[in-house]
Amino acid sequence: MTTKVLITGANKGIGRATVAAVLEARDDALVLLGSRDEGRGQAAREALVARDATWAERIEVVPIDVSDEGSVRGAAEAVKSRHGQLYGVVNNAGIGLGGEDLQTILGVNTYGPKRVCDAFLPMLTDRVVNVSSASGPMFVASCSDDRQAQLTDPDMTWERVEAFIADAHAVKGDFAGAGMGSGNLYGLSKACLNAYTVALARKHPELTINACTPGYIATDLTVPRAERSGVDPASMGMKPPEEGTRASLHLLFGEPGGSGWYFGSDAQRSPLDRYRSPGDPPFRGD
Ligand SMILES: NC(=O)c1ccc[n+]([C@@H]2O[C@H](COP(=O)([O-])OP(=O)(O)OC[C@H]3O[C@@H](n4cnc5c(N)ncnc54)[C@H](OP(=O)(O)O)[C@@H]3O)[C@@H](O)[C@H]2O)c1
C-alpha cells in the first residue's frame, strides 16, 4: 500500500527538503507537495524530479493556502476524491520573521495547521507533524507563571488556546503588562501551535500527533536577517534545509513514544516552557 503524505509550504526551504527526505526514507511514499502558489509548487516538483527522475510518479502538487479556509477545504475535497485516505500530514507552512502583525502570523502558524487538521483529519490514518519552533518554548519561558500554566495546561483544549489568543489581541501590544513576556509574535504563534498539538492529541488518541522544531536552518525565512546584518548564515549557526528534516521524519515514521509532545531538532522530546539544546538529555515529562 502507498504511504501518502501531505506537506504544506513544500515549494521551498524545509518543506521542499522534507519532500525529498520522505521519498528517500520510504520507497512506498507518495508526497502531496502543498504550495499556496501552484506555479511555485510545479517548479519545486520539477527541481526534485531533475534530482531523481523516478520521483516524477511520486510527487503531486496540491494548491493549498493554509490561511484561506476555502483553499484548505478545496484541497481536502480534491485529495479525498483522488486518494481517499492519507497516512500523514506535515504542517510545515509558516511565516513570521518579516514584521507581520499578530493576526497575520497566527493566521498561518496557528490557525493554518488547525484549518488543515479540521479538513484532513477525517481521511487521516496515522500521523500529524506540526513544524513549530524553539521560539515557542522560549516565548513561554518569558511569560508570567499564570501565563505559563495557561500555555502548558495538560488538559489543553482548542478553546483554551483561543482564550489565550483573545487575551493576546486584547492587550493591544502591551504584552509584558499582560504577563506575555517577550511579546515575540512568532514565538507566541508557535507556543499556541504547541498548545494546539497537545489539545489535538488529547482529542484524537487514535492518531500520533506531535510538534517539533527543525533547528536553525538557512531558508528564505532566516537568511534575509543574516544578510541584513552582513553576517554569513553558516557562521550564525544556520544549517542547510536537509538538516531541518530529522525531527519531522522521526515523528512521521519513527516511534516518538507519545502523542501531543514537542521535540527538538535532534528528534528528542523537549519541554513546552523552556529551551532544550540539541544533545542535552531528553525531557522526561516531569
Ligand atoms: N528556518 C528556520 O530556522 C526555522 C526555525 C524554526 C522553525 N521553522 C519553521 O519551519 C517551517 C518552514 O520554514 P522555512 O524556514 O522553510 O521557511 P521558508 O523557506 O520561508 O518556507 C515557508 C513555506 O511556507 C509557505 N507558506 C507561507 N505562507 C503560507 C500560506 N498561507 N499557505 C501555504 N503555504 C504558505 C511558503 O510559501 P511561499 O513560497 O508561497 O511563500 C513556503 O513554501 C515554518 O513553519 C517555520 O516557522 C523554521
- Which ligand 1 atom is at minimum distance from the Cα of 108? 31
172 belongs to a structural domain: no
Range of the domain at 22: 3-134+186-270
3-state helix, strand, coil in the chain (%, to 5): 50, 15, 35
Residue 117's nearest CA partner among 72, 159, 51, 79 is 72
In a domain, 282, yes or no: no
7 lines ligand 1 (CB under 6 A): no
Question: From the CB of residue 157, how many other CB atoms can be counted at a distance below 10 Å?
Answer: 16
Q: What is the pLDDT of residues 75-116, one digit of tens each?
A: 999 999 999 999 999 999 999 977 899 999 999 999 999 999
- Is 280 within the bounds of a domain? no
Lowest mean pLDDT among 36-45, 95-104, 130-139, 236-245: 95-104
CA distances from 173 to 49, 177, 179 (A): 46, 9, 12
* Distance from residue 36's CA to the centre of ligand 1 (Å): 11
* pLDDT tens per residue across span 114-144: 999 999 999 999 999 999 999 999 999 999 9
pLDDT at position 14 is: 98
Place of cell 487521516: 124
For ligand 1, the distance from its centroid to the CA atom of residue 246, given in whole angstroms, is 16
Tell me the β-bridge partners of 91: 130
Query: For position 253, which CATH number holds?
Result: 3.40.50.720
* Residue 175, domain member (yes or no): no
Express as a percent the part of the chain with pLDDT over 70: 100
Statement: residue 225 has pLDDT above 90 = no
Q: Is residue 148 part of a domain?
A: no
Atom of ligand 1 nearest to the CA of 14: 16
Return d(Cα 85, Cα 124) in angstroms, integer: 6
Length of the chain in terms of residues written:
286
Q: Collapsing DSSP states into helix, strand and coil, what is residue 30?
A: strand
- The bridge status of strand 269-270 relative to strand 262-263 is antiparallel
Mutate to test the pocket of ligand 1, among 40, 95, 216 (most ligand atoms within 8 A of CB): 95
* Residue 146 backbone dihedrals phi, psi, to 5 degrees: -65, -45
Domain count of the chain? Answer: 1
Mean pLDDT on 189-211: 98
pLDDT of residue 186: 96
> Considering the domain boundaries, does residue 123 fall inside one?
yes
* pLDDT score at 229: 86
CB 156, CB 163: distance < 8 Å = no
**Rounded distance between C-alpha atoms, residue 268 and residue 260, angstroms:** 14
DSSP class of residue 239 equals B
Average pLDDT rounded to a whole number, residues 223-235: 89
Q: For ligand 1, what atom is nearest to the CA of residue 238?
A: 3
142 occurs within a structural domain = no
C-alpha grid cell, residue 228: 541584513
pLDDT digits (tens, 9 = 90+) for 183-196: 999 999 999 999 99
**91 CA → ligand 1 middle, Å:** 10
C-alpha cell at 39: 506555479
Which candidate, 243, 248, 245, places its Cα nearest to that of 208? Answer: 248
pLDDT at 154 over 80: yes
- Name the least confident of 7-11, 205-209, 226-230, 263-267: 226-230
228 pLDDT above the threshold of 90: no
Q: Report how far residue 113's alpha carbon sits from residue 131's, in angstroms, rounded to the nearest whole number.
A: 9
Q: How far is the CA of 41 from the centre of ligand 1 (A)?
A: 13
- Whether 48 maps to a domain, the answer reads yes
Question: Band of the pLDDT at 165, cuts 50, 70, 90?
Answer: very high
